[in-house]
Chain A
Amino acid sequence: MSLLQEERKIILGNEYVDNFDFAEVEDFVKNASKDLFISYNFKTKNKMLVQPRGGFPTYKKQFALNKFFVEANVDVLPLTIDSNTRLNDYATAKKMLRLSEENEIDMLNGYPLVNHGYRTTRKMITHFNKPVSLRHGTPDARLLIETAIASGIFEIEGGPITYLLPYSKNFPLDKAFLYWKYVEKVCANYSKLNEPINRESFGPLTATLVPPAITIAIQLLEMLLSLEEGVKSFSVSFSQTGSMNQDIVMGAVIKKLAKHYANEINCDDTTINLVYHQWMGAFPTNKDFAEQLINMSTVIASMVGADKIITKTREEASGIPTKEANAKTVASTQYTLGILNGLPNIVDEEEEEILTLEVKAIMEAVFNDEADTLWRKVFNSIKNGTIDVPFSPHIINHNEMITIRDANKNIRIIKRGNVPISDRCFEYEKSKCDLTKDTTSIVNDIIHDIGIMQ
């Protein structure tokens, strides 16, 4: 038996798993409907796929939510996992699920997939016969993704960097790399049986003034870590920056570079798609304004040429959205996409060149790290600040880079920290900003720049 299979047996021997039948699950994946695979939908549907966010604790409520989504003409269903499961605390999730079932009050902020188990969840997923995307935030997702794939969920979001740096203060990053290596291997192995399992990275990160160069470098590194293990379908992603031009530039550069770096490691047979997140920062409390913002995001996603868009709702500012509000966004986004025709082709060569140089410099510094494997190189690069994510709560993050918006609301780097941005690029970034102000007014500007959509 391979080491991986031994590890899987231990993971799936967990007391909260009801007898995992390896052979049956393999058989299920092999014969599963192609419609369940987002990788197949990307290939065959000639449109931007629309995916909302959402997860409820009970089977009943999750089923009702999915029904609403399907009636609103959804392309991809979400399954958002509760916070206890994300931290591998299945005992608490179990208790809260029971309370939710008995009292009709939601005691969890998502669907506790491990507790429901794959036999139950598979019924719901095969019933709707739509691709499902697993949304979580889990550093150790080994048991979760085994359960997900066995349930018929063939898109797995996350990664060792993008699910760690925005979400945790002190979960050990080196462990996260190893746990995600397991995830990649399992996804790669199942991909040989039918259509490929899609892996998606979480580009929004902290959604707080993250400069495009950092977002893209991290997207590319998670992509390479995934491709290294044999994943054949991968989605890179980012969220609306606040400047339409910057979004378009980012889209162009990330597409070009993803292909470039995949080819470098001889993975040109891998399909790479682009996912765009509607505005991930603070939303306006005025629900009508929220709808305008959502609509604008959809227009930008089209300009960017995204393959999938992940939606927000008009209730974003007030908490977990109702299924009605959630389905409403899906329907309106589909409508907007349907009437958006004759989009102009905008290319900003200077911005593209600067951004490409910045990303390549970061990637080169990571590759030049003296460690022997890619994950260790990336680990060291985060530790020494070559990769620095603004506003990450994690203790390993360097926190030396400072960003601000220019007059056109583009995110600009005004302090490099240890990130190897060349002098030329750095001068360009700074030249766009008014840096004659004192630090106190710059801090006030940053506060304003974070909340521009409110």
Chain B
Amino acid sequence: MKVVTGVVGNDIHVVANRLIELSLHARGFEVFNLGVNTYLEEFFDAVVETDADILLISSLNGEAEGWSREIKILKSKYKNLDNLVMVIGGNLVVGTASPETIVPKYKNYGFDLVFHQVDLNTGLDTLEEFLKERNK
């Protein structure tokens, strides 16, 4: 399966991004890594270009919320993205907030899976289970 991944917004934190690429690769995914500092349009363009099944966005500086608000509007401008699995993870808030408030918020923005300060492998295990369930 194909995954497009990258860090959203003006966020230059690259270490986890590289580790996500390595881990996805190790789990057998075909990875298209857009790296840090990536805008939403670039993510969706890459999904269309690569015909990806999954979009995995990450954020460390907490800016993701500001960007995520626009996802639905933007996504509606693209055709054939209805089956795209949308995942976001990292540190999803500036300051602190509990997952109970964050997860529903991001699901509302259009994400299927939301990982706020979740360990990388736990997150990817959950993703694989989600995909298995969906493809039954």
Q: Which residues of A contact B (CB under 8 A)?
A: 167, 169-170, 206, 208, 390-393, 395, 399, 402, 438-440, 443-444, 446-447, 450
Q: Quick one: which of A170, A439, A443 contacts B120, CB cutoff 8 A?
A: A443
Q: How close is B98's CB to chain A, nearest CB, in angstroms? A: 22
**Residues in chain A near residue B15, CB distance under 8 A:** 208, 391, 450
Closest B residue to A170 using CB positions: B37
CA distance A213 to B26 in the complex (A): 26
Is B18 within 8 A of A391, CB to CB?
yes
B19 sits at the interface (CB 8 A): yes
Q: How close is B110's CB to chain A, nearest CB, in angstroms? A: 25
Q: Quick one: which of B12, B26, B36, B37 contacts A443, CB cutoff 8 A?
A: B26
CA distance A395 to B14 in the complex (A): 11
Closest A residue to B26 using CB positions: A439
Q: How close is A383's CB to chain B, nearest CB, in angstroms? A: 16
CA distance A399 to B36 in the complex (A): 13
Closest B residue to A390 using CB positions: B18
Closest A residue to B33 using CB positions: A399
Is A443 within 8 A of B23, CB to CB?
yes
A440/B12 contact (C-beta < 8 A), A393-B35, A399-B18 known: no
What are 26 inter-chain pairs, A to B, with CB distance below 8 A? A169-B12, A169-B35, A169-B37, A206-B14, A208-B15, A390-B18, A391-B14, A391-B18, A393-B12, A393-B36, A393-B37, A395-B35, A402-B22, A438-B26, A439-B23, A439-B25, A439-B26, A440-B23, A440-B26, A440-B121, A443-B26, A443-B120, A444-B121, A446-B19, A446-B22, A450-B15
**Residues in chain B near residue A208, CB distance under 8 A:** 15
Closest A residue to B22 using CB positions: A443
Chain B residues 26-52 with CB under 8 Å of chain A are: 26-27, 35-37
Is A393 within 8 A of B19, CB to CB?
no
Q: Which residues of B contact A (CB under 8 A)?
A: 12, 14-15, 18-19, 21-23, 25-27, 35-37, 120-121
Q: How close is B80's CB to chain A, nearest CB, in angstroms? A: 27
CA distance A402 to B37 in the complex (A): 22
CA distance A391 to B23 in the complex (A): 15
Closest B residue to A440 using CB positions: B26
**Residues in chain B near residue A170, CB distance under 8 A:** 37
**Residues in chain B near residue A450, CB distance under 8 A:** 15
Is A447 within 8 A of B14, CB to CB?
no
CA distance A223 to B40 in the complex (A): 40
Other A-B pairs beyond A438-B26, A443-B22, 20, CB < 8 Å: A169-B12, A169-B36, A170-B37, A206-B14, A390-B18, A391-B15, A392-B14, A393-B12, A393-B35, A393-B37, A395-B35, A399-B21, A439-B23, A440-B23, A440-B26, A443-B23, A443-B121, A446-B19, A447-B19, A447-B120
**Residues in chain A near residue B23, CB distance under 8 A:** 439-440, 443
CA distance A393 to B38 in the complex (A): 11
Q: How close is B38's CB to chain A, nearest CB, in angstroms? A: 9
CA distance A62 to B27 in the complex (A): 51
Closest B residue to A450 using CB positions: B15
Q: How close is B97's CB to chain A, nearest CB, in angstroms? A: 21
**Residues in chain B near residue A391, CB distance under 8 A:** 14-15, 18
Q: How close is B64's CB to chain A, nearest CB, in angstroms? A: 17
CA distance A391 to B37 in the complex (A): 14
Q: How close is B62's CB to chain A, nearest CB, in angstroms? A: 15
Is B121 within 8 A of A439, CB to CB?
no
CA distance A450 to B19 in the complex (A): 11
CA distance A282 to B36 in the complex (A): 19
**Residues in chain B near residue A447, CB distance under 8 A:** 19, 120
CA distance A392 to B120 in the complex (A): 20
**Residues in chain B near residue A169, CB distance under 8 A:** 12, 35-37
Q: Which of B12, B14, B27 has the most CB of A within 10 A?
A: B14
Q: Which of A206, A208, A393, A399 has the most CB of B within 10 A?
A: A393
**Residues in chain A near residue B22, CB distance under 8 A:** 402, 439, 443, 446
Q: How close is B15's CB to chain A, nearest CB, in angstroms? A: 5
Closest B residue to A167 using CB positions: B12
Is B14 within 8 A of A443, CB to CB?
no
CA distance A390 to B22 in the complex (A): 12
**Residues in chain A near residue B27, CB distance under 8 A:** 440
CA distance A81 to B92 in the complex (A): 30
Please list the 10 inter-chain residue pairs (A to B) with the smallest Cβ-Cβ separation, ordered nearest first: A439-B26, A393-B14, A169-B37, A393-B36, A443-B23, A393-B12, A443-B22, A391-B15, A391-B14, A169-B36
CA distance A378 to B108 in the complex (A): 48
CA distance A206 to B13 in the complex (A): 11
CA distance A444 to B19 in the complex (A): 9
Q: How close is A445's CB to chain B, nearest CB, in angstroms? A: 11
**Residues in chain B near residue A438, CB distance under 8 A:** 26
CA distance A206 to B12 in the complex (A): 12
**Residues in chain B near residue A444, CB distance under 8 A:** 121
**Residues in chain A near residue B36, CB distance under 8 A:** 169, 393
Closest B residue to A206 using CB positions: B14
**Residues in chain B near residue A390, CB distance under 8 A:** 18
Closest A residue to B34 using CB positions: A395
Q: How close is A405's CB to chain B, nearest CB, in angstroms? A: 15
**Residues in chain A near residue B21, CB distance under 8 A:** 399
